[in-house]
Structure 1
Amino acid sequence: MLMDFRYLLLGTVAVLATATSAVAQTRAYNIPAGDAAASLQAFGRQSGKQVLFPFDAAHGRRAPAIIGRFDDADVLARLAQAAGLEVVTNDARTVTLRRATGMRSARPETAGEESVTRLDEIVVVGSHIRGAGSGASPVIRFNDQMIAQSGAATLQQFFDKLPQNFGGGANAGNNANSGVDRDVGSNWGAGSGLNLRGLGTGTTLTLLNGRRLTASNQFQYVDISLIPVSAVERIEVLTDGASALYGSDAIGGVVNIVLRKDFEGYETRLRYGGATSGGLEEFQAVQTGGWNWSSGQALLSYEFLSQDNLDVSERGFSRNAPFQPYDLYPETERHSLYGAISQTITPNLSLELNGLYAKRDVRSVRATASDYQIGAPSTEQYDLSGALTYDLSEAWQVRLSGAVGHSDVERTGFSTTPAGVVSPASSFSIASDSRYVDLAADGPLYTLPGGEIRVALGATYRSEDYRNRFTAGTRPQPTVSGARDVASVFGEAIVPLVGPNNRFAGAERLEATIAARYDHYSDFGSTLNPKLGLLWEAAPGLLFRGTYGTSFRAPIFEDLQSQNAVVVVVNLPNAGAPTGRTNLMLLQGGNPDLDAEKATTWTGGVEFKPTFVEGLSLGLNYYRISYTDRIDRGFPGNFTTLFASDTAPYAPILTYSPSLDLITRFRDMGLAGAQYALTRAGPFAVPAGQDESDVEVILDNRLRNNAATFQDGLDFNIGYEFEVGPNRIGLTAAGQYILSGTRKVIETSPEADALNQAFLPVDFKARAGATLARGDWSAAVFLNYVGGYSDRGNVADPSVEAWKTVDLDIRYGAPPGAASYLRGASIALSVQNLFNEDPPFVLTPSGSGFDPTNANPLGRFISLTVTKQW
């Protein structure tokens, strides 16, 4: 039954449709009088358009009732005037509003105040052109209300519920470091990175307010767990490649986290939560202040978060773990401070400054057969950015922006035996620095019958530095360091072929997008990436789109370093050798000759909002990613088993009967780097009287651009909103179905499945929900579904059941007419995993009993949040 339902969904649904005709038309509206922000949101739902506006500027103002058939533009004009806003763009899909000239804040202005503050037109992810939206690219959007309804205290918790995101790679919830991502075992800072499509750490570009953040940790990912979720205004998820727009890392997609900046007054928020099964209590405190003046505004927000650890002994499915104590979640304490300032200098010139500082301390315990391993990583990071914006004319704008950032990860680890004997501490010190300056301009170039050709042009210079100092006990290891400069130029154009003035039957709108970016890296070379898109509105409410593009990921500093090379000479069993043994030289570690990883991405989709069913939106998007030249080791298993099977697939990394010159060169490379060893003891000892000159085979297992991944699949989304009397009801369903996923570690190696196995992405994930709003109350319930898969490590029972959990959120906000001490107050009760469903059993070396990349061990988690605006 479930399978039938799943395929019915895949055959009939689509991503949230916002396409409507750009032509003036009348439609039935039913918007009751009330808060202007809520009225604008209702307009978006009933018109089928994405409405972008400063929420805090409209919230608190009163809008009139609009009931009956009206022209879209007339309704928008009336609501914008009531909200103190003005329309910047109003096309077939998106409406963008900003503060109207002379409007200072959401509060009424006092007589005599002058005001020239305005918000710049909103630039959403997927384009550098103001008001363009995402064009032909598929984008998933979440506003602050949706984020709050998820019950998440951190961004990691929020993205765990996104079907397109995979929990493998850098994930603080994966404390056992389970998975096949080669980066997973070295998450020394215990941070969390995004991993769209499960393509690996670093393949999702994460932006903050449209700008890059400083990368963190050994594998140089953006640590989203440092960003305070309380400061987030909206999240935009672009689910196709976008290196033509943003450069490196945009292979699996781009996530833009937009923080709030338009708020006046003070807001205090307290949150407490805990797991009902015991373990992991959570406390969060937030204080925000916002100030507006005649020519600018400022916001400052502080968030404190404390989370207890969760030990295996506190979960029934983990109590038989052979080694205890063992933290499934580490103990964490984090402080975050965010600030934003906007200032109008002249009518045409404005300045914006943003800053984010975070400090996080973590403590984790992991028992082994002989001792307790205790890790205490501490992460401290800041990112400061600024932008000057100058309006050259009413249509053209130029922006000069820059940023500096620093990340410092310090990790001290030690082990202690049950008798209390403490081993010498090992430590890491990983420092990353980034700086960039960006100059961009956008505006109309030429007018076609279908509308204005709009373009954006720009150039960027970025520099990065990295240092990793490691001490094993009392023995310092060679410092790994690197630096690079990146110079880039980019261009983008939107070409309207058919628009309001030349539309015809079968083509209400036809729009092409073209983008390209050239990046030159000082340490490995250059790359040019194009992107093409086409958007076709065949009829009002029916939209087709498609994109093609290439993307890349630059090698991280650790991968390029030869300082961490390891060269080992061993004597291995080999049934095919005359003596039954073979002397092997193994090379592992970094490689300064690496090139960029590359990907080709196709997407195609349909969005449908039937005019005969108001409030219903359907959509389906297909994606196809061919990811080549991936950096990995050529031989994936234990090298001691090399000759136990056919070596032909690994011929490109094997050298038989090597010359003495080649052997000597590799030996000297090891001597100059971190390690060279000629094995003289144990089962793989080189016989007496022999040395490296007697090597018969070289296995060059250093990192190289030899791996490849292919994946294609479908994203779907259904939305239906309607009113029943005073009740506003919303129904949603969204998910990802991966059609196929394969991986090869080297060109000549067998193709392996990269899907539906333990610690790998699952083909079907979905989240469906229902929301109800009535007066000052609202409620939401969501069903999370992770499909079943196979655990090949469990020979007795390899089948892993699907995991189904239910989340509940109930909220009450005091009405504007409430007593003064209640006005601006709200309370929210959130229950995650309402029915306390255990994660499905998976055999793990740690004995934890579950797969942390596809499930979590928290069980039922209840939290209460109280908010008061002053």
Structure 2
Amino acid sequence: MFENKFNALRRGCSTVAIALALTLAGAGVGHAETKPVLFNIAPKNTAQALLEFSKQAGIQLLFPYDEATKFNAPALKGEFSREAALAKLLEGTNLEIAGVTDKTISLRVKSKSTEQSHNDTTQDVVEVIVTGTNIRGANPTSPARVMGRREIEDSGFSQVGDVIRSLPESFSGGQNPGVIGASSASIGNQNLTNGSTVNLRGVGTDGTLVLFNGRRMSGDSFFQGADVSAIPLSALQRIEIVTDGASAIYGSDAVAGVVNFVLRRNFEGAEVSARTGAATQGGASEKVFTALGGRTGADSFLLANLEYAEQGAVRADDRDFTKAAPADHWLLRPQTRKSLLVSAGRDFGGDARLSVDALITERRSATRSRRTATTTPTVGEVFTPSYNIASALEFSLPGDWNLRATAAASGSRNSTWSGTLLATASFTSRKNSVRYGEVTADGTLFTLPTGPVKAAIGGGFRREDYRNNRAPSSSYIEPTRDVAYLYGEALFPLVSPSNRPGLNALELNVSFRAEDYSDFGQSTNPKVGVRWLPTPDVTMRASWGTSFKAPSFTQMYQASIVAIYQANILGYSGTGTALVTSGGLTELTPETSESWTFGADWKPARWPGLKVTTTYFSIDYTDRVVQPIPNLAVGLSDPIYSSFVETPSSARLAEVLASADITYNYSGGSYDPTKVVAILHNTYQNASSQTVRGVDLGYRQNVQMGRHDIDLFANATWLTLQQQTVAAAPEQTLSGTLFNAPDVKARAGASWRRARWSATGTLNYVDDIRDTGVKPERRIASWTTMDASVAYRFEGPGVFGDGLKVVASVSNLFDRNPPIALSPATTNPGLTYDSTNASILGRFASLTIVKAW
């Protein structure tokens, strides 16, 4: 039944999205000069002059604020067309117009290279970062990193998941391909569906909010972290990563940060590409085919992307490093992906604008595992269709106010068949979906002598659904929650941009969000951010705020299980039996956090193209939901678990058994209530806390040497992640240990361009970690790999002419095997490596051919 409904919805979404996109697309490309406007702008800093221009011209202006503060604009008095007025204000700056519509003008930093190919998008439009604020044009007070189109292409990756896992801020554990045997460190370290998730700071895939073109994506599978593997890399303009708590803006899940995948809405033309590759040690064959088309006009745009991808398996006998494991055990799973994306928009008469984004995907992945050579292999298949569709209608209001109404729906389903070759396969199904509508208004409240005070206010309603299996399965649940919310944000310019030393500019950002959940209650979260420019070259920023994560459906509504054991198995010194409870708990409350960040950005005018950033971050994450007794063998003997032990009456025993959905008897005999000595409560509870402290460093510089264009870059993260599982337990340091985030992770390299050639080399570093699964603990060595790519762009007539590019890429160029870790082999014989911090892929070589028109 559900499959038919899901497929019907998928076909319907595709049809509606394509039809709407084609309807919206019919508009011209040219921009006629506008009628004269009476301007009266005094000489001032260019950033302040551009804000005044935006107000007097009645148009939204998006521009790199930090760059504009480095220049001064002349007086502008009299009647000018907006084009002529803007040209005068930009004289002598390094800014230029990147895009124009009837209601928006985008500026960017001028490119230093004049040798761009037809339809080349590697020079990124530099606009204000849209993630982390509801105010148009607001400057971020939280640490924010942007991977632009050029950086995405230079990475040599073909999948969004690979890009995210390469970032120093992101931990590769959690729900990600290749994770094997890591659930001993965290129940969330499992590769259930071969999806890719984002795990900022290593706090868990459910602690990072993921947005697709600014819209919330649904969770996926058992742990409900958003799967980003379906997002086509070829359709992205940039990836924005805010590494700060952001529940005051976005609500639940934005504890460690927010990642927003932004589409190439300014793409003009058509592009097809084909990529093939394989691991040189064997396996992991890859084929990716992409077709991309776009059109931008004076009042409309259209982007469409179609992608098909295949990826082969890596078997244990493909690697000398894992020869001791059963030969047909898969280290990396095979899979196929298909996706259709359509994004379109149109400006109706200048006062109303409509846009729609639709992404329909399906992914199939197979599994094959064998613990030892004598055991029967377990095989399976996972089918994961998903959809993300959203529409926004914007209206221009009096003054510079803007009203935006958004409706969005996102969902995914995992249908899994698994079993042995000699037995009938079992079937499980999980479904996640989210639907919401919200309205936001933003604009200028009033104007101070230091500048306009801007604000945003809005609210909405969201419905989230989850289904685990199907009735009448004992594990069947199908809960729903409704969320109503209100939010507000204000930006105060305390000191206007000027050339005064030590106090060039100062801004204060204040935001809040209140949410009311139908199943557990309310959560209200504030945030305060400060942005201070002591000089035009230096930006100091600080933020404080609280965030939260709603308990997952699994944690609240999973079937209640009671298991009966001999008490001595659980650490009891006498005879008798004991009950162990597990499963969901409807009385759970949200996980909460308090975040601090302090940072600085240096962009010296004397060295254009250089940017250095540093950020200190701190997260206190409390009330984390866990099953509090990770080792049942000491549940009745270790005093730290005494608060979870109950000495029951006969009536209490009857109550607990009657409330169980599933009962197992592992005691070896019949149940006798008179012999029960204790109940051990291991249901999900708000019992754990974590702290994360660390520093991010970033460096990027563009260097021009004659006809050579060189980009240098480096990013590194130092962090300490500590956890207290229950209040009575000692605090443990998780970072730098097996199956947890490393203490240090870094990525650095250089990209070179000249005429038709370009090349990139990148070093990746993962710090050494401790193997805590062996006694005494053993050091697992650090892991350093190198990636490289070379591209050539053809010119001239014919097939090998303008728009044709060939790219050769190699990841792990020197074929470094993962460092040896002994303890993983105790549960997975022959697999002696940490699958969350090192990849078994080895050297992977690929060739990509791109043709653009």
User: What is residue 505 of structure 1 aligned with on the other side?
Assistant: 501
**Structure 1: distance between partners of 2:66 and 2:404:** 33
**Structure 2: distance between partners of 1:834 and 1:542:** 38
User: What is residue 438 of structure 2 aligned with on the other side?
Assistant: 438
**Structure 2: distance between partners of 1:377 and 1:800:** 33
What is the CA-CA distance between 1:161 and the residue it aligns to?
0.8
What is the CA-CA distance between 1:795 and the residue it aligns to?
3.9
User: For the Cα contact (< 8 Å) 2:101–2:299, is it kept in 1?
Assistant: no
Paired AA for residue 846 in structure 2: S
User: What is residue 701 of structure 2 aligned with on the other side?
Assistant: 720
Task: Identify the match of residue 74 of structure 1 among 83, 86, 91.
Answer: 91
What is the CA deviation profile of residues 463-518 of structure 1, one whole-angstrom value per residue up to 9, with x for unaligned ones?
111111169xxx943411110110000001111100136x6331001100000000
**Structure 2: distance between partners of 1:291 and 1:760:** 45
Matched, 1:571 2:575: no
Paired AA for residue 23 in structure 1: N
Which runs of 5 or more structure 1 residues have no equivalent in the other structure? 1-20, 26-39, 51-69, 98-104, 108-118, 417-421
Task: Identify the match of residue 349 of structure 2 among 327, 333, 346.
Answer: 346
User: What is residue 427 of structure 1 aligned with on the other side?
Assistant: 427
What is the CA-CA distance between 1:767 and the residue it aligns to?
0.5
Label 1:773 to 1:666 Cα distance change in 2 as closer, same or farther (>3 A). Answer: same
Secondary structure of the corresponding residue to residue 526 of structure 2: strand
Label 1:24 to 1:388 Cα distance change in 2 as closer, same or farther (>3 A). Answer: closer
User: What is residue 834 of structure 1 aligned with on the other side?
Assistant: 813
What is the CA deviation profile of residues 177-198 of structure 1, one whole-angstrom value per residue up to 9, with x for unaligned ones?
555221234x432211110000
**Structure 2: distance between partners of 1:541 and 1:267:** 39
User: What is residue 286 of structure 1 aligned with on the other side?
Assistant: 290
User: What is residue 364 of structure 1 aligned with on the other side?
Assistant: 367
Matched, 1:660 2:660: no
What is the CA-CA distance between 1:662 and the residue it aligns to?
2.0
User: For the Cα contact (< 8 Å) 2:101–2:298, is it kept in 1?
Assistant: no
**Structure 2: distance between partners of 1:384 and 1:311:** 37
**Structure 1: distance between partners of 2:126 and 2:387:** 25
What is the CA-CA distance between 1:558 and the residue it aligns to?
1.2
User: What is residue 710 of structure 1 aligned with on the other side?
Assistant: 691
User: For the Cα contact (< 8 Å) 2:176–2:196, is it kept in 1?
Assistant: yes
What is the CA-CA distance between 1:573 and the residue it aligns to?
2.1
Label 1:371 to 1:465 Cα distance change in 2 as closer, same or farther (>3 A). Answer: same
Label 1:569 to 1:427 Cα distance change in 2 as closer, same or farther (>3 A). Answer: same
User: What is residue 18 of structure 1 aligned with on the other side?
Assistant: none
User: For the Cα contact (< 8 Å) 1:166–1:198, is it kept in 2?
Assistant: yes
**Structure 1: distance between partners of 2:192 and 2:768:** 31
Task: Identify the match of residue 765 of structure 1 among 745, 752, 756.
Answer: 745
User: For the Cα contact (< 8 Å) 1:801–1:840, is it kept in 2?
Assistant: yes
Task: Identify the match of residue 236 of structure 1 among 240, 245, 252.
Answer: 240
What is the CA deviation profile of residues 550-602 of structure 1, one whole-angstrom value per residue up to 9, with x for unaligned ones?
0000111111115x11112222228997x733432211111111111111100
Which runs of 5 or more structure 2 residues have no equivalent in the other structure? 1-42, 48-61, 72-86, 111-117
**Structure 1: distance between partners of 2:725 and 2:146:** 35
Secondary structure of the corresponding residue to residue 835 of structure 2: coil
User: For the Cα contact (< 8 Å) 1:678–1:691, is it kept in 2?
Assistant: no
User: What is residue 780 of structure 1 aligned with on the other side?
Assistant: 760
Matched, 1:749 2:749: no
What is the CA-CA distance between 1:149 and the residue it aligns to?
1.1
Task: Identify the match of residue 648 of structure 1 among 639, 643, 647.
Answer: 639
Paired AA for residue 166 in structure 1: F
What is the CA deviation profile of residues 141-185 of structure 1, one whole-angstrom value per residue up to 9, with x for unaligned ones?
001111111111111111111001111111122144555221234
What is the CA-CA distance between 1:652 and the residue it aligns to?
1.7
Matched, 1:853 2:836: yes
What is the CA-CA distance between 1:324 and the residue it aligns to?
3.3
What is the CA deviation profile of residues 319-375 of structure 1, one whole-angstrom value per residue up to 9, with x for unaligned ones?
112x33111110100101100111122211011011001000001110134210012
User: What is residue 537 of structure 2 aligned with on the other side?
Assistant: 541
Label 1:576 to 1:377 Cα distance change in 2 as closer, same or farther (>3 A). Answer: closer
What is the CA deviation profile of residues 665-687 of structure 1, one whole-angstrom value per residue up to 9, with x for unaligned ones?
111112xx1x2234441xxx5xx
Label 1:270 to 1:203 Cα distance change in 2 as closer, same or farther (>3 A). Answer: same
**Structure 2: distance between partners of 1:694 and 1:89:** 77
Task: Identify the match of residue 811 of structure 1 among 785, 791, 794.
Answer: 791
Label 1:132 to 1:24 Cα distance change in 2 as closer, same or farther (>3 A). Answer: closer
Label 1:47 to 1:824 Cα distance change in 2 as closer, same or farther (>3 A). Answer: farther
User: For the Cα contact (< 8 Å) 2:564–2:667, is it kept in 1?
Assistant: no
What is the CA-CA distance between 1:295 and the residue it aligns to?
3.7
**Structure 1: distance between partners of 2:571 and 2:772:** 29
**Structure 1: distance between partners of 2:94 and 2:144:** 27
User: What is residue 45 of structure 2 aligned with on the other side?
Assistant: 23
Paired AA for residue 266 in structure 1: A
**Structure 2: distance between partners of 1:519 and 1:444:** 25
**Structure 2: distance between partners of 1:567 and 1:778:** 62
Secondary structure of the corresponding residue to residue 558 of structure 1: helix
User: For the Cα contact (< 8 Å) 1:574–1:582, is it kept in 2?
Assistant: no
Label 1:106 to 1:824 Cα distance change in 2 as closer, same or farther (>3 A). Answer: closer
The residue correspondences of 1:662-741 to structure 2 (distance < 5 A) are 662-670=652-660, 673=661, 675-681=662-668, 691-738=672-719, 740-741=720-721
What is the CA-CA distance between 1:523 and the residue it aligns to?
0.9
Structure 1 length-normalised TM:
0.83
Paired AA for residue 619 in structure 2: I
User: For the Cα contact (< 8 Å) 1:179–1:760, is it kept in 2?
Assistant: no
Label 1:71 to 1:649 Cα distance change in 2 as closer, same or farther (>3 A). Answer: farther
User: What is residue 605 of structure 1 aligned with on the other side?
Assistant: 599
Paired AA for residue 696 in structure 1: V
**Structure 2: distance between partners of 1:572 and 1:437:** 52
More divergent stretch after superposition (610-619 vs 229-238):
610-619
Task: Identify the match of residue 373 of structure 1 among 355, 358, 378.
Answer: 378
User: What is residue 100 of structure 1 aligned with on the other side?
Assistant: none
Matched, 1:823 2:802: yes
User: For the Cα contact (< 8 Å) 1:137–1:533, is it kept in 2?
Assistant: yes
User: For the Cα contact (< 8 Å) 1:496–1:512, is it kept in 2?
Assistant: yes
Secondary structure of the corresponding residue to residue 266 of structure 2: coil
The residue correspondences of 1:127-142 to structure 2 (distance < 5 A) are 127-133=133-139, 135-142=140-147
**Structure 1: distance between partners of 2:788 and 2:704:** 21
**Structure 2: distance between partners of 1:128 and 1:143:** 21
The residue correspondences of 1:390-539 to structure 2 (distance < 5 A) are 390-416=395-421, 422-469=422-469, 476-500=473-497, 504-539=500-535
User: For the Cα contact (< 8 Å) 1:121–1:130, is it kept in 2?
Assistant: no
More divergent stretch after superposition (544-553 vs 836-845):
836-845
Percent identical residues? 32
Task: Identify the match of residue 385 of structure 1 among 387, 390, 398.
Answer: 390
User: What is residue 580 of structure 1 aligned with on the other side?
Assistant: 574
Secondary structure of the corresponding residue to residue 403 of structure 2: strand
User: For the Cα contact (< 8 Å) 1:446–1:454, is it kept in 2?
Assistant: yes
Secondary structure of the corresponding residue to residue 478 of structure 2: strand
User: For the Cα contact (< 8 Å) 2:490–2:510, is it kept in 1?
Assistant: yes
What is the CA-CA distance between 1:296 and the residue it aligns to?
1.8
Paired AA for residue 771 in structure 1: S
More divergent stretch after superposition (265-274 vs 607-616):
607-616
User: What is residue 163 of structure 1 aligned with on the other side?
Assistant: 168
What is the CA-CA distance between 1:437 and the residue it aligns to?
0.4
User: What is residue 296 of structure 1 aligned with on the other side?
Assistant: 300
User: What is residue 358 of structure 2 aligned with on the other side?
Assistant: 355
User: What is residue 634 of structure 1 aligned with on the other side?
Assistant: 628
User: What is residue 249 of structure 2 aligned with on the other side?
Assistant: 245
Label 1:85 to 1:346 Cα distance change in 2 as closer, same or farther (>3 A). Answer: closer
**Structure 2: distance between partners of 1:754 and 1:640:** 22
Paired AA for residue 456 in structure 1: A
Paired AA for residue 430 in structure 2: I
What is the CA deviation profile of residues 753-805 of structure 1, one whole-angstrom value per residue up to 9, with x for unaligned ones?
11111101110010011121112221111110001111122447711111000
